[in-house]
Amino acid sequence: MNGIAIAVSRSKEHAFSKSNQKSIRLLVGLGVEEDAHMGAKVKHRSRVAADPTQPNLRQVHLIQTELHDELQAAGFSISAGQMGENITTRGIDLLGLPTGTRLHIGNTAVIELTGLRNPCAQLDRFQPGLMAAVLGRDEQGKLIRKAGVMGIVAVGGEVRPGDPIQIELPPEPHQPLDRV
């Protein structure tokens, strides 16, 4: 199961959406260069308010473009970067990957998945009803978070639209992604 980077995005400011770029640079242990969420310690405002000394497990945000397709079919106007993701992918079931999966992107970059993005009320401020649209329930009633996955930069490098993504699963037993 391999995929492709469809778009790469960043924002120097704490804004909901991020601007698409020709490339982004991933920095080991920090995240996306010139992105507001870059750093070894938490940068998401709610996390900083709770404990600014926590490690930043949300350095890079990835969303599969298949979610955009689903949301567009439901009547939402969504494109790459608008939900705050740094890398928009195609061809990978990001949500189905286990914790610790390594995504090799382009020539050198490697992102290690740490967990699921927990959707927040900013989604509804962007487009009413969007938060409910990225949440679901499985057959057992367990909450499904579809707003993407988070990771840390294990190996730095440039990432561009069109770069291939190869998946390296962690050793078994696999642990499902949970919110971070």
Residue 163 is predicted with a pLDDT of 98
Residue 48 is predicted with a pLDDT of 81
The yes/no answer on whether domain 3-168 falls in CATH 3.30.930.10 is no
Q: Break the chain into its structural domains and give their ranges.
A: 3-168
- The pTM of the whole model exceeds 0.85: yes
Residue 1 is predicted with a pLDDT of 64
Q: What is the pLDDT along the chain (180 residues), one digit of tens a residue?
A: 689 999 999 999 988 899 999 999 999 999 999 999 999 998 877 788 888 899 999 999 999 999 999 999 999 999 999 999 999 999 999 999 999 999 999 999 999 999 999 888 889 999 999 999 999 999 999 999 999 999 999 999 999 999 999 999 999 999 999 999
Compute the distance between CA of residue 91 and CA of residue 65 in angstroms, rounded to an integer: 8
